[in-house]
Amino acid sequence: MSRARLVALSGICSAVSLLSIFLANYVTWLSFMLGVISACAVSVPLLVDAKNGLYSLLCYVASAVLGVFLGVGNILYVLPIAVFAMPFALVKVYGEYRTVTDCVVKYRIPKVWRWVIYYALCEVCLALTFGACYLFTPAVFEKLTSNYLILVVALIVNAVIPLYDKVMTGCLSVAAYAVKKVWK
């Protein structure tokens, strides 16, 4: 794919990702689905050109910074998308070497290390989200810590990561199929 088409695709993906993050700020009951859409949109340039991750990385940085800046009013819904969902998709695509042109999944990063990275991303996300909750919404943080609800939330989030991996695999497969049809 030519550089101009890849830049155009990255711009479109950044816009879709930023729109998803912005909507997650206001339509909170759809935040999980919008986070998956945002993460898939950021990883599409890496799906197209697996050897060059620069466009996906720039797409991620632009979407995450602008998304967090626009979503400061409801940081608890926006920050996990920017800190966990989007890097999760990038690690998944890069680690499994899924490309639009190949049907074969080649593994760049061994499975054990991919899962270590997934859980490290999760723990960083939890720490940053709870820290932002403490700084921006102290009443919500007080409610979470008063009856150890914060530990329950952390355990549930850690338990759901394998399911999230399956959801992301399906969404990335659909995204790869769509890009293959549109960007021949």
Q: Residue 184: which pLDDT band, with cuts at 50, 70 and 90?
A: low
User: At 38, which helix (H) or strand (E)?
Assistant: helix 31-48
Average pLDDT on 58-64 reads 90
pLDDT tens column, 71-90: 766 778 888 888 888 899 88
R_g of the chain, CA atoms, integer Å: 17
Residue 97 φ/ψ region, left for φ over 0, alpha for ψ in the -120 to 50 degree band, beta for the rest = left
Res. 43: pLDDT tops 80: yes
Place of tokens 């399956």: 166
Start-to-end CA span in the chain (Å): 9
State both tokens at 175: 């995204």
Q: What angle do CA 170, 172, 177 make, to 5 degrees?
A: 100
Q: Which residues contact 145 (CB under 8 A, 6 or more apart)?
A: none
pTM comes to: 0.84
Place of tokens 């790869």: 176
**Which amino acid, residue 89?**
A
